[in-house]
Chain A
Amino acid sequence: MFQKLTFPFFLLQITTPPQKNPPPDFTTGYQYPVTINPPARAELFTRIDMVMLAILMLMTAYFILYRRSRREVRLISLFSLLYFGFYRHGCVCSVGSLQNVAMAIFHNGYALPLSVGVFFILPLLFALFFGRVFCAAVCPLGAAQDLILQKARRVPAWLDETLSVIPYVYLGLGTLFAATGTVFIICEYDPFVAFFRLNGGAMMITFGIIILFLSTFIGRPYCRYLCPYGVLLRWAAAWSKWKVHVAPEKCIQCHLCAESCPFNAMRMPVPEEVRPSRKSTRAVLARVLWLIPLLAILGGITGRLASPLLSHADITVQTADRVWKERHGLVQGETLESQAHRANQIPDDVLYAKAVKIRRTYALYATLFGIWLGLVFGLKLFFITTRRRWDDYDADPAACVACGRCFGYCPSEANGEFAGQGVYIQGNLNKRGQMRN
């Protein structure tokens, strides 16, 4: 049958492009087959997700702050890991949602979906009142690391302080690329998502294995040294109304709670004799303070200078660059991008104009990113030199992920007289962490 071709359709198509093979007029009453297009599953599931998020955070807050019990929180972690992680494949998560928010604010033509907005706002709101209960058990990334933690080794202070700057840089970079509508790098380099989907590129699986391996003996390495959303949660949790406290009025300074915390989130009392004097602190402060604006300005200039480089992450800029080079004979051959540009018959000038516009956007946002970096480094120096000194052991609300490990270690609490009493949740501790009547 195939050999009996009667009409050279093939040639006809080439010679008369606008009238390429119109649909024929059938004479036998032929009906087009029906194509079924499965609807997007997003709508229903995202609603369930939002409710789940709120319920799980409330439960965690109840078990950690009121019942002071870790057992249930472990179960919630496991559930979050299975549901948000393996069942929902880790999308959308609060960590990634910050990019959607940045894009909705800075980039034209993207409206923030309600579900993504809720995933961004709700954990922050909860952090303002209950501390980082989202990190404790609801975030699948945190849950994955927390559940496989065996024996935490202490990270040396100098390393801990240095690495803890990375999330701020990552937050800035993630926001920069999202605000310009380039790419969501935080999602692209999510080390866990390959496991949630049981699928992924070799590089991402390797990265994931490294992070998970580290998680067995370093408490939550992603949360502490990478997670950009953790930065925002820190800011919110620092002002939280109800937070994790170690039994303060019966503190016998046994150091067990600090030993129990795998995340280095316990503030330790500093003896009076080793505290720096007010005068020497002030001298150091004077040296550091003028550094902050200087670093910010330097960062801004560097960001501006680096903006052409950063803008190369954008595919339009890449394509324009390539097409220009091809046109001027600077490179040989074509890339898929330049082929696609020609295939879509877009004039080169239109592409160049688009790229120039994106570069201008980058010039602005890269400058802001540079200023941000300068401020981060400056303020980090500032806080290292002017650290507040504490009288008693207590959890640092910004760093504490409300896992509840320390509760079981406190000898004052071991007799169980506080459990279920809700004594610590009423905000009735004064600024020294002692009980008010």
Chain B
Amino acid sequence: MAASDSKKTRREFIADGIRTGGLIIASGAIGALAASSHAEDTVWQIDPYKCTNCGLCATSCVLDQSAVKCMHAFAMCGYCNLCSGMLRPERVGNTIEAENVQCPTFAIQRSYVENPYFQYVIDENLCIGCAKCSKGCDAFGNGSLFMQIRHDRCLNCNQCSIAEVCPAQAIVRVPASKPYLLKSKIKQDG
């Protein structure tokens, strides 16, 4: 900086120094972030192994219909005839009448595969993310139904309003390139 410039006051000289310093720090910081492999955008996701299926996802999301939906790990499912994710424990008989099923919107569709196995598919348009089915599946089944944030719906709020209230602190930031935490293997005990 031209300190010899007689027109320059001390205040202007300091200001020039601050601006130059700011420019160097800012470009250094942005450059370091751009070069860093960790500085990837993050999105929110539910860690299915921490999730306790409390049901707050359905009502805590900023969206009218939560971005959280139930997903099904087909490779893990037992294809039970008597699915505890679909049917309530306190049911009367084993029919899929409204009083017997877990899902309040009937988003689980059941179809016959082969004796004695049945396939269960979640209709995402109907699912409201209440976690009743995944809770049932966790309790008596093997947990192949689990909750995930669907990224075609999620607004990716800087502070996820479900994460704020999640009692199990199961909602975590994950890299945007790997936005799902899927259950592929059967949960290890302990």
Interface residues of A (CB under 8 A from B): 1-3, 5-7, 9-10, 13-14, 17-18, 20-24, 26-28, 30, 32-33, 35, 37-43, 46, 89, 91-93, 96-97, 99-100, 110-118, 121-122, 124-125, 128-129, 183-184, 187-188, 193, 197, 199-200, 236, 239, 241, 315-316, 319, 335-337, 339-341, 343-345, 430-431, 436
Given A89-B155, A91-B157; A22-B186 close (CB under 8 Å) = yes
Whether B39 pairs with A117 at a CB distance below 8 angstroms is yes
26 A-B pairs in the complex with CB atoms less than 8 angstroms apart: A2-B96, A5-B81, A5-B82, A10-B140, A13-B142, A20-B143, A26-B117, A28-B114, A91-B156, A91-B158, A96-B158, A97-B158, A111-B40, A113-B33, A113-B41, A115-B41, A183-B159, A197-B155, A239-B15, A319-B167, A337-B168, A340-B54, A340-B168, A430-B9, A431-B9, A431-B12
Given A22-B186, A344-B50; A96-B159 close (CB under 8 Å) = yes
Whether B117 pairs with A40 at a CB distance below 8 angstroms is no
B119 — nearest CB in chain A belongs to which residue?
Answer: A33
Whether A114 pairs with B54 at a CB distance below 8 angstroms is no
- B 106-124 contacts with A by CB, 8 A: 112-114, 116-117, 119, 121
The interface size bin for chain B is 35 or more
Whether B121 pairs with A129 at a CB distance below 8 angstroms is no
Whether B168 pairs with A343 at a CB distance below 8 angstroms is yes
CA distance A354 to B174 in the complex (A): 22
Collect the chain A residues with CB atoms within 8 Å of residue B154's CB: 40
Whether B141 pairs with A184 at a CB distance below 8 angstroms is no
Whether B76 pairs with A23 at a CB distance below 8 angstroms is yes
Whether A129 pairs with B19 at a CB distance below 8 angstroms is yes
A189 — nearest CB in chain B belongs to which residue?
Answer: B159
What is the CB-to-nearest-CB distance from B47 to chain A, in angstroms, rounded to a whole number? 10
CA distance A169 to B176 in the complex (A): 33
Looking at chain A's contact residues, is the secondary structure mostly helix, strand, loop, or mixed? loop
Whether A336 pairs with B167 at a CB distance below 8 angstroms is yes
A126 — nearest CB in chain B belongs to which residue?
Answer: B26
The 9 A-B pairs with the shortest beta carbon distances in the complex, nearest first, are A21-B78, A111-B38, A184-B159, A38-B152, A340-B168, A187-B159, A336-B167, A32-B74, A20-B142
Collect the chain A residues with CB atoms within 8 Å of residue B125's CB: none
Query: 1/0 contact trace for B55-79 toward A, CB 8 Å?
Result: 0100000111000000110111111
Whether A241 pairs with B119 at a CB distance below 8 angstroms is no
Collect the chain A residues with CB atoms within 8 Å of residue B72's CB: 35
Given A40-B43, A125-B26; A187-B190 close (CB under 8 Å) = no
> Is B169 engaged at the interface, CB distance under 8 Å to the other chain?
yes
Collect the chain A residues with CB atoms within 8 Å of residue B158's CB: 91-93, 96-97, 99-100, 184, 187
What is the CB-to-nearest-CB distance from B27 to chain A, in angstroms, rounded to a whole number? 8
> Is B161 engaged at the interface, CB distance under 8 Å to the other chain?
yes
Query: 1/0 contact trace for B149-171 toward A, CB 8 Å?
Result: 01110111111010010111100
> Is B22 engaged at the interface, CB distance under 8 Å to the other chain?
yes
CA distance A118 to B32 in the complex (A): 11
A100 — nearest CB in chain B belongs to which residue?
Answer: B158
CA distance A96 to B169 in the complex (A): 21
Whether A21 pairs with B169 at a CB distance below 8 angstroms is no
Collect the chain B residues with CB atoms within 8 Å of residue A124's CB: 22, 26
Collect the chain A residues with CB atoms within 8 Å of residue B105's CB: none
Q: A40-B156, A43-B176, A430-B9 are in contact. List 17 more A-B contacts (CB 8 A).
A: A2-B94, A5-B94, A6-B116, A7-B116, A9-B80, A13-B140, A30-B114, A38-B151, A42-B42, A114-B41, A125-B23, A128-B19, A184-B158, A200-B62, A339-B54, A341-B168, A431-B12
A9 — nearest CB in chain B belongs to which residue?
Answer: B80
> Is B30 engaged at the interface, CB distance under 8 Å to the other chain?
yes
CA distance A319 to B165 in the complex (A): 12
Given A9-B80, A42-B156; A110-B173 close (CB under 8 Å) = yes
Among B33, B74, B161, max chain A CB count under 10 A is at: B33
Collect the chain B residues with CB atoms within 8 Å of residue A40's CB: 41, 43, 151, 154, 156, 176-177, 179
Collect the chain A residues with CB atoms within 8 Å of residue B30's CB: 114, 117-118, 121
> Is B90 engaged at the interface, CB distance under 8 Å to the other chain?
no
Whether B77 pairs with A23 at a CB distance below 8 angstroms is yes
CA distance A214 to B1 in the complex (A): 46
> Is B84 engaged at the interface, CB distance under 8 Å to the other chain?
yes
Collect the chain A residues with CB atoms within 8 Å of residue B164's CB: 183, 188
Collect the chain B residues with CB atoms within 8 Å of residue A23's CB: 75-79
Collect the chain A residues with CB atoms within 8 Å of residue B63's CB: 197, 199
Collect the chain B residues with CB atoms within 8 Å of residue A315's CB: 166-167, 169
From A33, A99, A197, A436, B62 is in contact (CB under 8 Å) with A197
CA distance A20 to B79 in the complex (A): 12
What is the CB-to-nearest-CB distance from B38 to chain A, in angstroms, rounded to a whole number? 4
What is the CB-to-nearest-CB distance from A267 to chain B, in angstroms, rounded to a whole number? 16
CA distance A343 to B64 in the complex (A): 29
CA distance A332 to B62 in the complex (A): 32
> Is B36 engaged at the interface, CB distance under 8 Å to the other chain?
yes
From A18, A113, A128, A188, B42 is in contact (CB under 8 Å) with A113
CA distance A111 to B11 in the complex (A): 37
What is the CB-to-nearest-CB distance from A340 to chain B, in angstroms, rounded to a whole number? 4
From A32, A97, A337, B75 is in contact (CB under 8 Å) with A32
Given A13-B140, A40-B176, A241-B15; A112-B39 close (CB under 8 Å) = yes
